[in-house]
A and B are shown apart, each in its own frame.
Chain A
Amino acid sequence: MAEEVKLMKGNEAIAHAAIRYGCDGYFGYPITPQSELLETLEDLMPWESTGMVVLQAESEVAAINMVYGGAASGKAVMTSSSSPGVSLKQEGISYIAAAELPALIVNVMRGGPGLGTIQPSQADYFQATKGGGHGDYHLIVLAPATVQEMADFVGLGFDLAFKYRTPAMILADGIVGQMMEKVVLPEPRARRTDAEIAEQCPWAATGRHGRAHRNVVTSLELEPAKMEVNNIRLQETYSRIAASEVRYKEYHTEDAEYLIVAFGTVARISLKAIEDARAAGIKVGLLRPITLWPFPSERLLELSKQVKGILTVELNAGQMIEDVKLATEFNVPVHHFGRMGGIVPNPGEVYDALVKHFPEAIK
């Protein structure tokens, strides 16, 4: 076969994909359920092959600030963690967003709040999509549902981050991080040369190397009038992203009378519930947002005029449902079904929730 199919965990797929993308540096700190990512990188020793730097930092705080430093010099750098660790990274993420730097952050979510549990969760939806750190900013948030997408979103995340000079996040749940599936890894490509970086990132603090002026990467601007201009520029970037980068997938929506909205692994669990529901005569479809920010609001508004009701299924107390309600302008009833604390619902529970909220669906 032309491309080699491999079997690996989502966390491992991200590590392999990062090396193949030509990632310049990874900085991270171990935390369950994503430690395989750093372990795989250390095992593959990419510094021997591509020259990629891999460093186990002293903390998540240090790791994200290493990402900030690396990104400031125009390099393609990334970090990964799980929920409590991503909370620690929020300071650095805010600085990266404010300084308009490209970077990739991976959050393989576990149940919280607090130290919580190591089992899967999607309870960091608000944190990831509404900002997370201080100030007005957004991340581009990609929600993979398969190990293949874990691999693919590394390249997509970096490409979007560099295109818009903004951090991107892969927001995965513990299941897709720990699960093994078939994956085709991206074609390896060379890391960018210093000359390419100087050309593509004229803002980078690399040392002047003959440049007439100095480059300063900072998020500080004490003059309110200038700081507002900086904010307006950020918001303009977010508008451009929202206009062109919405991604989602639909399943069985053509004739759907009811709609489930779910992301990540939960979308797959819901899909199985939908297969069962259709067998029972309920015409239900699935919209799976791939970008959680920007959110597929326009498509949801269209679908809200077609369906009689919407159920969001999430591994949290109801977070994405707020965006669904805003998007659908209260055209139809929107209900939530979720499990928390690391419990993952099985397809039967999703089916039961659908029937509970829309009893008229069973004719």
Chain B
Amino acid sequence: MKEEIIIAGFGGQGVLSMGKILAYAGLMDNLEVTWMPSYGPEQRGGTANVTVIVSDEQISSPVLDTYDTAVLLNQQSLDKFENKVKTGGTIIYDPSGIHRAPERTDVKVVVVDAMTAAIEMNNAKTYNMILLGALLKQRGLVSVDAVVKGLKKTLPERHHHLIPLNEQAIKRGMELA
């Protein structure tokens, strides 16, 4: 198993941390992982993306031409990465920031209205976990248990009380997808 994923959107949408939690979950499931961020001054507002590779074999290049799965959270990211998804791959996108839907017919397109769901959960910060839930539903990759363990590793202790809420958001995402 090898899954090459791009997660892209605005800085502040939790793109990097979503990738990080996925990578940690991979670690918990004893998989090989790489997490390669776009880095720079674009932490809030600009575009941000992260490439995550989860594999049961050693990973050569952390830099990729094409992806198995793309989670795309704004128009720029969709424009940039839509054509880089492999035939038969998956595009997951949130329609709230997107005015032109994906046009590819040779990939699976999954719409997840994560923004609305997050508002319904009264916590905008659950946004990226809802999307992560959708990704897990579509692609498997790692267990929800591993994600919860990953959350424990990535969140500072003082935020551990938020883990149940994040778990709920992941489950909500799984329902939506």
Contact = CB atoms under 8 A, between A and B. Distances in A.
Direct contact between A and B judged by beta carbons closer than 8 A: yes
Interface of A: 5, 7, 32-33, 118-119, 174-175, 178-182, 265, 268-273, 275, 344-348
23 contacts: A5-B27, A7-B33, A32-B39, A118-B40, A118-B41, A175-B62, A178-B37, A179-B34, A179-B36, A179-B62, A180-B23, A180-B33, A180-B34, A181-B59, A182-B33, A265-B63, A268-B61, A269-B63, A344-B63, A346-B61, A346-B64, A347-B61, A348-B65
A181 B65 contact: no
Contacts of A347: 61, 63-65
Contacts of A271: 60-61
Contacts of A272: 60-61
Interface in B1-29: 20, 23-24, 27
Given A32-B40, A182-B27, A346 B65 contact: yes
A178 to B, nearest CB: 5
B34 A181 contact: yes
A156 B39 CA distance: 28
B6 to A, nearest CB: 12
Q: Which of A5, A118, A182, A347 has the most CB of B within 10 A?
A: A182
Contact of A7 (B24, B59, B60): B24
A181 B35 CA distance: 7
Interface of B: 20, 23-24, 27, 32-37, 39-41, 59-65, 153
Contacts, number: 67
Contacts of A270: 61
Given A32-B40, A118-B40, A268-B60, A180 B65 contact: no
Nearest to A344: B63
Contact of B20 (A5, A33, A118, A180): A180
A175 B63 contact: yes
Contact of A178 (B27, B36, B61, B153): B36
A181 B23 CA distance: 8
Contacts of A118: 39-41
B65 to A, nearest CB: 4
Interface centre among A118, A174, A175, A179 (most CB of B within 10 A): A179
Given A7-B33, A271-B61, A348-B65, A178 B39 contact: yes
A180 B32 CA distance: 11
A148 to B, nearest CB: 11
Contacts of B20: 180
Contacts of B65: 346-348
A265 B36 CA distance: 11
Contacts of B64: 346-347
A249 B27 CA distance: 26
Contacts of B37: 178-179
A118 B37 CA distance: 13
A7 B34 CA distance: 9
Nearest to B154: A7
B62 A7 contact: no
In the A-B complex, the 9 residue pairs with the smallest Cβ-Cβ separation, listed nearest first, are A272-B61, A180-B35, A348-B65, A271-B60, A346-B65, A269-B61, A179-B36, A272-B60, A7-B27
Contacts of B33: 7, 180-182
